[in-house]
Chain A
Amino acid sequence: MTAPQRPVELILMRQLASYLAMPIMIADHARTLLYFNQAAEALLGRRYAETRETRLEDWMRGLPLYDEAGQLIPPEERPLPVVLRERRPVHRRLRLRDPDGPLIEATVLPLEGQGGRHLGAAIIFWELAAR
């Protein structure tokens, strides 16, 4: 049984992400992490080919996020769940995995399709130290 075809906007978003050099992840409205590009693989330390599609809850359990002060961000306050729930963009500084790790910036954009369809969200990471 094949998974249903994705909306063309997500198909094109994935294609664009695969060409861009900044780390990008794509999730659908049903809280499934659909894709992350090679730049994100390097940042996250995971390979998309091994991870494939993952429930957001499972993903978040394996990747804690900390705020600028080093405090753990509760799962539903992380940028992606906020964007999927509230359908508005979020920009936040955070640390991956380690409360003392380097600060990165994350911009999460809702993906809204024709006819008011809420398709999901795209996360763009910006590594401050690397720029």
Chain B
Amino acid sequence: MNVTLWGTRGSLAAAGPETVRYGGNTSCVEIRGDDGTLLVFDAGTGIRRLGTSLGEVRRVDVLLTHLHMDHLEGLGFFGPLYQPEAEVHIWGPPSSTQNLQQRLIRYLSPPLFPVRLRDLPCCLTLHDVPLGPFRIGGCDLEADLVCHPGPTVGYRIREGATVAAYIPDHEPALAVSDFRREPQWTSGYALARGADLLIHDAQYTDLEYPQFVGWGHSAIGHALAFARLAGVARLIPFHHNPAHSDADLDALIEGARRTNPPFEILPGQEGLSLQL
């Protein structure tokens, strides 16, 4: 499978000269199966450029981790939604009170957005994500709720023997004091276990985190400890703090590498593309 990062920023888009290399767009990751299966994870502002790059699309599946704005605000600008021949499937975490359509139209309707969901010309299907295994094209997926305010899932994507895990908003440290001891009590562990690639929340430096406990995000130290526990091969720190400049993120990555983790650390830069 091929993985491309189209938006790596958390919380709020952060365009500007100080964020050129890591990018200012909010969360969006494309995973393309070897058979052409097209999966898009989250619909932050990065999804606009992804849509432009796709041209005419037959089928695309957009899988949302949750409905916070930084994961949704680009959806209305996703080109395939306006292609009458395109089959677009949007998956989102279940809620006990409203289905995905009811929750999506709170944003995709006036006055917040001029186009209503029902007026989109594509062939649109909405799905509550099953909590457990399901299949899209040639990829086997698994979704599970993770520790973040409101119903939020992470995803495990498998194609053949290759596994990627996408957990962009995650605060496992809130519920575990020692990552080394209790994998069964660590949120997200089952999704990330043994993955070839883990894309994981690393919004804060370790020094910043104590001011933001309970906000649903990880410090870089937590991302490293979680990746170590899960035994992944590569980690992409993701969901960058909008206040972090390229220089800040370089320092964050460099510091993480100095801990000599038993996995490769790839900088979560917009445009990064890798074949697994």
Contacts and interface: CB of A to CB of B under 8 A. Distances in A.
A15 B187 CA distance: 12
Contacts of B189: 5
Contacts of A3: 184
Of B130, B174, B184, B188, the most chain A CB neighbours within 10 A belong to B184
Interface in A2-36: 2-9, 11-12, 14-15
Contacts of A7: 144-145
A interface, how many residues as a size bin? 10 to 19
Contact of B190 (A5, A14, A113, A117): A5
B145 A9 contact: yes
Contacts of B96: 114
Contact of B94 (A2, A9, A15, A114): A114
| A2, A9, A11, A117: most-surrounded residue (chain B CB, <10 A) | A11
Most buried by B among A15, A113, A114, A117: A114
A15 B175 contact: yes
A113 to B, nearest CB: 8
A115 interface: yes
A6 B151 contact: no
A14 B184 contact: no
A5 B132 CA distance: 13
Contacts of B144: 7-8
Contact of A5 (B130, B151, B174, B186): B186
Interface of A: 2-9, 11-12, 14-15, 113-115, 117
Interface of B: 93-96, 128, 130-131, 144-147, 151, 174-176, 183-190
5 contacts: A5-B190, A8-B144, A9-B145, A14-B185, A115-B131
